[in-house]
Amino acid sequence: MAWAMQTTLSNGTRFADQFFAGARACIPVVLSVAAYGMVWGVLARGAGLSQLEVLLMSGLVFAGSAQFVALDLWTATPATLPIGPLILAALVINLRYLLLTATLRPLFRPDQTGRGALMMGIVSDETWAMTMLEMQQGRGTIAFLLGGGVLAYVCWLLTTLLGFMLGSAIADPATYGLDFAFTATFLVLLLGMWKGKADLLPWAVAALSATIASHLVPGNWYVLIGGLAGSLAGAIADSVRHVD
Partner 1 sequence: MWTSPQALAAILGMALVSFAVKALGLLLANRLPRHGFAAAWLRHVPGAVLASLVAPALATGNPAELIAALATGLVYWRSRSLLLAMALGVLTVYLARLALAG
Name residues contacting partner 1, limited to 219-238 (CB under 8 A): 222-223, 225-235, 238
Chain-centre distance of CA 58, in angstroms?
14
- The span from the CA of 134 to the CA of 145, in Å, is 10
Decide whether 10 or 183 has the Cβ nearer to partner 1. Answer: 183
Decide whether 162 or 190 has the Cβ nearer to partner 1. Answer: 190
Contacts 24+ apart (CB under 8 A), 108-117: 108/142, 116/142
Is residue 137 near partner 1 by the rule CB under 8 A?
no
- The span from the CA of 156 to the CA of 143, in Å, is 20
Counting every residue written for the chain, the total comes to 244
Q: Segment contacting partner 1 (CB under 8 A): 6-14, 37-45, 159-167, 179-187?
A: 179-187
Decide whether 16 or 235 has the Cβ nearer to partner 1. Answer: 235
Q: Whole-angstrom distance between the N-terminal and C-terminal Cα of the chain?
A: 44
> CB of 37: closest distance to partner 1 in angstroms?
16
Site string for partner 1, 182-221 (x = CB under 8 A): xxxxxxxxxxxx-----x--xxxxxxxxxx--x-------
Contact 64, 83 (CB under 8 A): no
C-alpha triplet 25, 133, 21: angle, nearest 5°: 25
SS3 232: helix
Burial of 137 (0-12, 13-18, 19+ CB in 10 A): exposed
- The span from the CA of 222 to the CA of 219, in Å, is 8
Decide whether 10 or 115 has the Cβ nearer to partner 1. Answer: 115
Decide whether 32 or 160 has the Cβ nearer to partner 1. Answer: 32
Is residue 164 near partner 1 by the rule CB under 8 A?
no
List, in order, residues 6 or more apart from 237 with CB less than 8 Å away: 198, 201, 202
Q: Which of residues 68-127 bind partner 1 (CB under 8 A)?
A: 70, 78-79, 81, 83, 86-87, 90-91, 94-105, 108, 110, 113-114, 116-118, 120-121, 123, 125
Q: Which of residues 48-67 bind partner 1 (CB under 8 A)?
A: 49-50, 52-53, 56-57, 60-63, 66
Contacts with partner 1 by CB under 8 A: the residue count is: 97
Is residue 152 near partner 1 by the rule CB under 8 A?
no
Question: In Å, how far are 49, 67, 81, 227, 228 from 74, measured between CA atoms?
Answer: 8, 10, 6, 30, 31
Q: Segment contacting partner 1 (CB under 8 A): 2-10, 15-23, 44-52, 160-168?
A: 44-52
> CB of 6: closest distance to partner 1 in angstroms?
32
> CB of 62: closest distance to partner 1 in angstroms?
7
